[in-house]
């Protein structure tokens, strides 16, 4: 009986030491820090604040581009929104996303399918691949649009705007 207790005790200590070796402060990887890291877009805070924070700092729009961040809006199922980087543009209504904390708590997913299902083809309603069912999720998700990492906007920097001159040719002017 004593030998059985010793074996049980040794196994318990071994199991406990495996648990202790995991840092207690190790948290769950969230989408915003991951998107910031992979895209280079220096925005902080919850994902639902990225779209507003990008205004005046980064170009924003509704056309997918590699490296852009798709900013999902808050919804009942996503109260703090979501952000994901576009890793490939498949078509004007389909992209592949790289993101964290979507299908699996704290997990990273690379090159997963996302489809624009908005009525106006403007990426304001999106369905995203969901790992547990092995396909596009069963619901669509509201989105604000794309934040473009390669086009920072500076308030005191002139922006060149192309416009047609009186003869119909293109002219470039600077605007503030």
| pLDDT at 5 (0 to 100) | 42
- Tell me: pLDDT of 170 over 60: no
Share of residues in the chain with pLDDT > 70 (%): 70
| pLDDT at 159 (0 to 100) | 37
pLDDT tens-digit profile of 2-12? 455 444 444 44
pLDDT band of 122, cuts 50, 70, 90: very high
Domain membership flag for residue 74: yes
Query: What is the average pLDDT across 129-150?
Result: 95
Spatial distance between the Cα atoms of 101 and 82, rounded to a whole number of angstroms: 9
Spatial distance between the Cα atoms of 5 and 79, rounded to a whole number of angstroms: 50
The pTM of the whole model exceeds 0.75: no
Domain membership flag for residue 53: yes
Spatial distance between the Cα atoms of 105 and 131, rounded to a whole number of angstroms: 11
Domain membership flag for residue 43: yes
Total domain count, the chain: 1
Spatial distance between the Cα atoms of 52 and 47, rounded to a whole number of angstroms: 10
Domain membership flag for residue 21: no
Domain membership flag for residue 169: no
Domain membership flag for residue 23: no
Contact 47, 83 (CB under 8 A): yes
Spatial distance between the Cα atoms of 86 and 38, rounded to a whole number of angstroms: 10
Domain membership flag for residue 19: no
Q: The domain that contains 36 carries what CATH number?
A: 3.90.1720.10
pLDDT tens-digit profile of 70-105? 999 999 999 999 999 999 999 999 999 999 999 999
| pLDDT at 28 (0 to 100) | 77
The whole-chain average pLDDT of the chain stands at 80
Domain membership flag for residue 61: yes
End-to-end CA distance of the chain: give it in Å, rounded. Answer: 85
Query: Domain containing 144: what range?
Result: 31-163
């Amino acid at each position: 009986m004593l030998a059985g207790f010793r074996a049980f005790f040794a196994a318990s200590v071994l199991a406990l030491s495996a648990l202790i070796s995991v840092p207690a402060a190790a948290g769950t990887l969230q989408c915003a820090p991951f998107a910031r890291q992979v895209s280079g877009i220096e925005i902080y805070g919850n994902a639902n604040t990225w779209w507003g924070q990008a205004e005046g700092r980064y170009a924003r729009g509704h056309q997918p581009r590699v490296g852009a961040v798709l900013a999902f809006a808050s919804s009942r199922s996503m109260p703090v929104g979501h952000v994901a980087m576009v890793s490939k543009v498949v078509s004007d209504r389909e992209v592949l996303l790289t993101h964290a904390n979507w299908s699996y708590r704290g997990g990273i997913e690379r090159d997963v399918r996302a489809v624009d299902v908005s009525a106006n083809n403007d990426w304001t309603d999106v369905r995203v691949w969901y790992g547990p069912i092995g396909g596009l999720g069963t619901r669509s998700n509201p989105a604000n649009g794309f934040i473009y990492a390669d086009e920072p906007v500076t308030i005191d920097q002139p922006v060149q705007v192309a416009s047609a001159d009186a003869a119909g040719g293109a002219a470039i002017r600077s605007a503030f």
